[in-house]
Amino acid sequence: MASPDLVTPWPSSSGYSFSGSLDIRLEEANPADILPALEVPTSSISYNCTIPKPPPLPCKTFTRTKYANTFLECCSVPKETVDTWDKLFNEGHGADVYVITEDESYVPAHSSILGAASPVLENLLQQTRIKNGMRYIKIPGVPYDAVRLFIRFLYSSCYEKEEMKKFVLHLLVLSHSYIVPALKRVCIYFLEQDWLTKENIVDVLQLARNCDAPRLSLLCVRRVVKDFKAISSTEGWKVMRRVSPALEQELLESVVEVDSKKEERLKKMEERKVYLQLNEAMEALLHICRDGCRTIGPRDKVLKGSQVACGFPACKGLETLVRHFSSCKTRVPGGCVHCKRMWQLLELHSRMCNEPDTCKVPLCRYFKEKMQQQCKKDETKWKLLVSKVVAARNRLGAFSGQRSGFI
């Protein structure tokens, strides 16, 4: 929202003259005289050398390990233990279970280890009859190598990186179906790190939802929203559209929601920028009319055109606007855009000023009296604008206070 576009006639009373209250000199400041606005202050406090030194800061007694680094190694147990369990798995000594795969191959295993690692497998083993001293369970729909890697992980929590990357989707399904949380975390980690592509992102999203992996699902949704144009043209998206139209509708709504939030955020940022500029203009206007700035200011001030630039960002632009406003001959309503803008700035100052009787800004008291005659609609617009500018000023002050506190 910009400042209200109000058309107001120029006051005819000689008591409200604008140019009569300011002293304007036709000089310009020398750019070589401009100095930095902020300087590092030098302290003049002398400290007593008899004051004892403070005790040293406590040292760190522990080091924190990031969660992600636990999966950088292929194993999370000592090497000796890994070798022992891998040997037991590879040799199959004392095995009492055959795990049948999709191609009718089998992997020998130990029922006690499978039951301890997976409650689902424990239940299956209890329901399976013993034939010739062996139990037989089948894991369908998964390649032999994936089943072997799955059983090996149950023994030693160990895996090969290349095999894990190759069968990560199969292992994610197995870890979820047979309730093996450790393997499920490893699979999710691999998928989150470097496995997702625009070709498989839709498939992984559907699998993550079926396997109760909310973090992975959220990551996939964010990837889809970020690169929607490329992902929506893949074969996986076309299959998903036929199989799960509800998921497609959900993803489209997510894309629209993100775009709407982005536009709304940009709009709020632009509005906040306008209100901050208006606040800077109010500060610069009060500075010019009360203290004077280089070649423009009140008549009771001695101006020095060679003085350094002031610290008000809007002072230079407002100074040009004031010079035009004081000498412009086209002051009829709607005649001069620059004069109309200056007129609105003066009225905005009057509505924000709490001392109209002693204020040195021209026409301040005039606008205070004029408020009594404005219609309710215009009054509401001005009150809303004033509240926005004041809120922007307070927000800027709070932010500056936080920065000074950190510094």
User: The domain spanning residue 387 has which CATH number?
Assistant: 1.20.1020.10
Residue 352 domain boundaries: 267-298+310-394
In a domain, 201, yes or no: no
In a domain, 50, yes or no: no
In a domain, 315, yes or no: yes
Percent of the chain's residues with pLDDT above 90? 23
In a domain, 389, yes or no: yes
Indicate the pLDDT class of residue 68, thresholds 50, 70 and 90: very low
In a domain, 388, yes or no: yes
- pLDDT score, position 400: 47
Percent of the chain's residues with pLDDT above 70? 73
- pLDDT score, position 322: 78
Collect all residues with Cβ–Cβ distance below 8 Å to 107 and sequence separation of at least 6: 98, 99, 101, 144, 147, 148, 151
Contact 233, 241 (CB under 8 A): no
In a domain, 92, yes or no: no
| Phi, psi for residue 376 in degrees, rounded to 5 | -65, -35
Q: pLDDT (tens digit, 9 = 90+) per residue, 36-65?
A: 333 333 444 444 445 566 566 555 444 444
Structural domains in the chain (count): 1
Residue 67 CB-half CA count within 13 A: 5
Q: pLDDT (tens digit, 9 = 90+) per residue, 172-208?
A: 999 999 999 999 999 999 998 878 888 889 999 999 9
In this prediction, residues 284-292 reach a mean pLDDT of 78
pLDDT at 113 over 70: yes
In a domain, 337, yes or no: yes
Contact 346, 365 (CB under 8 A): no
In a domain, 344, yes or no: yes
